[in-house]
Structure formats: structure tokens, C-alpha cells
């Protein structure tokens, strides 16, 4: 995928800007080990994958290739913002946790380092949501942030060589409080997770139902819950979808 125009403009100015889609909160983390915790969200722009069912296509889909069929405008969705400005907005929420999401945040990992360090210095915990395809730098691994790693399965529509990067997954395995979270909608998907786990060796595993609305989330949750428990894995729902539906900025 080509880089957003806003990032190219930033390079010409030689300023350490972060490409942002939206900042919102206070809200709650809707997924994974910290589900229900009060937090703020920093959603970044751009992604190196193109999942058909992506619930944030407005961060990367400029051609309408996702299931929504909508071609979003990067000039409206993305903006380069300085670290100090982002930090001030997040700290003003007075939340104990900031979730950095996307898109794929790790494509901007070097630009994120000053912001992550500043948040941690202010006593704010940080989680980074990542698809696990970008090898983390030693600098970001050394920080006390949690990686919620969500490798994509075959139903995402991307070929395996794009969506599964063993070197990145193995390095993320060794990070602080890591969790591996898989979007599933059938027991066949769970078999795919088991095959990947046996091949690569990551843990702990969290299983989450795919769905953009309450009906889809609950329906898929019922399809996978019993088998998830039987396999000894953790189960998470999508709390924000159940609470607010398919809305942005919540």
C-alpha cells in the first residue's frame, strides 16, 4: 500500500509527526485482557493489510476494497500531528490507560516512541493493538507497554505470506504482558488458530467474535464459545459494539 499523502508532506518538512485518524475518550477498552477498563484511544492511519471485514476501513481503504465497498478519502481521514499536541489531548482525558490502535500502529513505531515514553512517565499505561506483521524494534520492546497481537486468519482475505510473519510474532511473544487475540466466527477458524499456535508457539490466546453490530457479535460468540473453552483459551467479546453499536469515536 502506498504511503498517505500527509506522511509524504511531513517528510518534506522533516518534522516528527504521527499520522492520526482520530483521538477519542474517555471510553472503555472493548476487547482482550483489559476489556472494560476506562481508557482513551489514539487511532492511527494506514495499514499494511486489507482485511475484508475490517471495522475501521476509514483508516486505510482508499479504493473501496473492504466489505463496505466505500472508498474513503485520506485527505479527510488522516492528519499529521506533533507528539506534544497528541500527548496533551490524551492527558486531558485523565484516563489510566491509552490504547494505540489503527490501522496498523507498528508501521509508525519509531515515531511513536517519544509519545509512549511521555505517557509512561505520566503514569499512564499503554496498550498497542497490532496485526503482528511488523517486527518490533528493541527500543519499543524495552518499554512497559502491552501488545495485543491480532494475527489475521484466512477469512480476512489476505494471503498467508502477507498476514503471518513468524519472526515478528516470535519477538512480540517475549514482550511485557503480551496477548494474542484472534478474530473468529466459526469452529473452523479455531482450528486455524490451533495450527498457527502449534507452528509458532505463541501464548496466551484470546478468541474474539467477528462482528460490526450486536447481532453479528452475539451470534458468532455463541458459535465459538464452547470450543474456545474446551481448547483451554481465553474468550473476549467486543464490549464497545454491544454498548454503542457500529459507531466511531466511542
* DSSP one-letter code for 45: P
Instruction: Please tell me the predicted confidence (pLDDT) of residue 16.
Output: 81
Which regions of the chain are under pLDDT 50?
A: 1-5, 8-9, 11-12
Query: pLDDT digits over 177-220, tens only?
Result: 999 999 999 999 999 999 999 999 999 999 999 999 999 999 99
Q: What is the pLDDT of residue 12?
A: 47
Give the distance from CA 62 to its chain's centroid. Answer: 19
pLDDT of residue 15: 64
pTM of the model: 0.93
CA 248 to chain centre: 15
| The 17-28 sheet, strands edge to edge | 79-82, 17-28, 38-44, 97-101, 125-130, 146-149, 179-184, 205-209, 234-235
Dist. CA 132–CA 228, nearest whole Å = 21
Long-range contacts of 85-92 (CB under 8 A, 24+ apart): 86/18, 86/20, 86/23, 86/42, 86/115, 87/115, 87/118, 87/119, 89/23, 90/23, 90/25, 90/40, 90/42, 90/119, 90/124, 91/119, 91/122, 91/124
Domain boundaries, the chain: 5-179
Fold of domain 5-179: TIM Barrel (3.20.20)
pLDDT, position 137: 98
> Residue 229 — φ and ψ, nearest 5°?
-65, -40
Q: Kind of pairing, strands 97-101 and 79-82?
A: unpaired
CA–CA distance, 157 with 176 (Å, rounded to integer): 30
Q: What is the pLDDT of residue 5?
A: 45
Amino acid at each position: 500500500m502506498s504511503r498517505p499523502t500527509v506522511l509524504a508532506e511531513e517528510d518534506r518538512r522533516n518534522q516528527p509527526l504521527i499520522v492520526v485518524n482520530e483521538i477519542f475518550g474517555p471510553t472503555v477498552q472493548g476487547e482482550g485482557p483489559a476489556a472494560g477498563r476506562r481508557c482513551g484511544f489514539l487511532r492511527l492511519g494506514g495499514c499494511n493489510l486489507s482485511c475484508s471485514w475490517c471495522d475501521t476501513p476509514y483508516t486505510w481503504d482508499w479504493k473501496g476494497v473492504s466489505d463496505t465497498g466505500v472508498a474513503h478519502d485520506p485527505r479527510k481521514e488522516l492528519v499529521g500531528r506533533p507528539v506534544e499536541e497528541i500527548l496533551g489531548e490524551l492527558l486531558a482525558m485523565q484516563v489510566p490507560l491509552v490504547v494505540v490502535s489503527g490501522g496498523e500502529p507498528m508501521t509508525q513505531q519509531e515515531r511513536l516512541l517519544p509519545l509512549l515514553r511521555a505517557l509512561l512517565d505520566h503514569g499512564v499505561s499503554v496498550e498497542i493493538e497490532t496485526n503482528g506483521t511488523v517486527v518490533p524494534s528493541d527500543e519499543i520492546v524495552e518499554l512497559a507497554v502491552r501488545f495485543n497481537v491480532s494475527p489475521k486468519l484466512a477469512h480476512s482475505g489476505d494471503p498467508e505470506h502477507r498476514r503471518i510473519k513468524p519472526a515478528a510474532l516470535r519477538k512480540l511473544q517475549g514482550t511485557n504482558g503480551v496477548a494474542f487475540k484472534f478474530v473468529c466466527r466459526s469452529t473452523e477458524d479455531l482450528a486455524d488458530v490451533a495450527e498457527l499456535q502449534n507452528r509458532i508457539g505463541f501464548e496466551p490466546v484470546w478468541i474474539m467474535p467477528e462482528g460490526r453490530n450486536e447481532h453479528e457479535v452475539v451470534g458468532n460468540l455463541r458459535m465459538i464459545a464452547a470450543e474456545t473453552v474446551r481448547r483451554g483459551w481465553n474468550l473476549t467479546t467486543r464490549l464497545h459494539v454491544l454498548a454503542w453499536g457500529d459507531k466511531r469515536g466511542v
